[in-house]
Structure 1
């Protein structure tokens, strides 16, 4: 098994494409954070006068609530923002957006880039062997097909962890350079689904956000690996995996109005919804989402295993 893992990792890291993906992730992270730092909003007020900024925002939101009616969800969103800003003012807590960890929360959105890059590797892991015809050489070894498939999955999963670590370290270093390595223990204020403001550690919230985002990445990679195993074409596997990933995420908001949608995979993979106590669908809980995710995980891997064991390699 060790030799199989070494062989699969060698296949991944000896390719120029892999290192271009890693360099691309670093450059994308740096560019994203610098753009966030120097983007200018028309209504932005100097950070030194954040109290005035929040007071004005509260007044604007109250005026909108009094004069506009856009539905219950909109009212909840605006009320939550009012309560959050008021909590900042009452407790003299500066906004966390302009801190190291606040900036890293923005960088967490780049986890989708990590997912796409890993999907490219995962989709090519098995399908690429059939496309190149090297699967025959692989299967003449004494190792079972199950071990071969497991080694490919572990190697792909390890690559995704490497990209995650690179993203986190790069975001931390760049954010520290841009905002300084001070106020790392600043509190984070958020509003739960009942619009009540709460306070927690910004470090805990940021790390939890990244770790929860990893769940979505793992499921996306597992889905890509399953499609790679079923398909004989790496290009089709990559196209389908990336397409399903983006399509699945984009229709989450639309499906949230239906109660049955809570069984949909991508309604559950974003576990960050539970950090603020605001699930996508009323009644969903963290334990429920974990059960749904595990169920899909088992199904994807079982399907990969069954197909790979039975797949004909003589063609």
Structure 2
């Protein structure tokens, strides 16, 4: 275990000694500030949210009285009315007009974190072959399994560092823009009996980031596997980025078929399940998690088998 930790530390040193790592970190901070500034301008936090809430309640009441409206839509309207009325009664502004709304919107920037991590992951193994340092690495008294595991762990730790940077910077920047007076704002949910329950806004936002993190881990694991299969860093990085951006487009076409739901990128985004809106009818959180576990194991087994069998002297 100590040797594995030393290997991970060594891989981290390789990552953070490079100038590009710090450039990506500074670029992420700049993107967060720019994104938060434009989002704040579009959110219009100074508008009269109470008048808007009252108008929403009146509009929903009129829609509910419409006999032609399906029952499932009426349930959604009633839930929204309950939330708006609770907010009015307890003087709680909408999340979107507070710092928490900005922090939640910043979760979309996890794509940038994924992109930067893919660049690192695509170079972790292939880079050793490109620079000819793989032989020096393997003469150490450590098994190939530990060497590969240390590289994978260092890649995920880099992703975690970027993710923490994203969350903390988004919280600070949006706090400055919106003010910190609503930092204790609760997250409201409607129960089955129609009552409104207060929950932790921090936990809700962290859950959103956590579900996005699953997508990050899967794409990074794919990039790491490609880096292990190919000896070219540029090919590994380029192919990984292409798959990352084209994944959702491919999913759109494959979902026309019943077997499309088994495609990796049809299951990487778990956030729709928070709202009870799966990508395809019949898909559940458990189903998507099972598919993700299958791909996760497949990518790691392929990485290990190829790295274990590869003839380094060739």
TM-score, normalised on structure 1? 0.84
Displacement, 1:251? 3.8
Matched with 2:82 is 87
Matched with 2:154 is 155
Q: How many residues align?
A: 303
Q: Is the 8 A contact 1:269 1:293 kept in 2?
A: yes
Q: Is the 8 A contact 2:118 2:223 kept in 1?
A: yes
Q: Is the 8 A contact 1:153 1:225 kept in 2?
A: yes
Which range is displaced more, 218-227 or 179-188? 179-188
Matched with 1:69 is none
Matched with 2:274 is 275
Matched with 1:11 is 14
Matched with 1:250 is 249
Change (3 A) 1:94 1:50: same
Displacement, 1:100? 1.6
Query: Structure 1, residues 147-202: CA drift from partner, whole Å, max 9, x if none?
Result: 1111110111111111111111111111111112222343445799x9x9976533
Equivalent positions of 1:72-151 (< 5 A) are 82-83=77-78, 85-91=80-86, 92=88, 93-151=92-150
Partners of 1:291 and 1:98 lie apart in 2 by 37
Change (3 A) 1:64 1:228: farther
Q: Is the 8 A contact 2:83 2:190 kept in 1?
A: no
Matched with 1:50 is 49
Partners of 1:154 and 1:2 lie apart in 2 by 10
Q: Is the 8 A contact 1:114 1:164 kept in 2?
A: yes
Partners of 1:79 and 1:265 lie apart in 2 by 34
Partners of 1:45 and 1:58 lie apart in 2 by 20
Partners of 2:151 and 2:80 lie apart in 1 by 49
Which range is displaced more, 148-157 or 268-277? 268-277
Partners of 2:142 and 2:36 lie apart in 1 by 46
2:312 equivalent to 1:313: yes
Q: Secondary structure at the match of 1:109?
A: helix
Matched with 2:67 is none
Change (3 A) 1:84 1:175: farther
Partners of 1:122 and 1:197 lie apart in 2 by 47
2:5 equivalent to 1:2: yes
2:62 equivalent to 1:26: no
Change (3 A) 1:82 1:287: same
Displacement, 1:244? 0.7
Partners of 2:251 and 2:76 lie apart in 1 by 23
Partners of 1:45 and 1:184 lie apart in 2 by 15
Gaps of 5+ in 1: 66-71
Change (3 A) 1:231 1:198: farther
Q: Is the 8 A contact 1:81 1:191 kept in 2?
A: no
Q: Secondary structure at the match of 1:147?
A: helix
TM-score, normalised on structure 2? 0.85
RMSD after superposition: 3.1
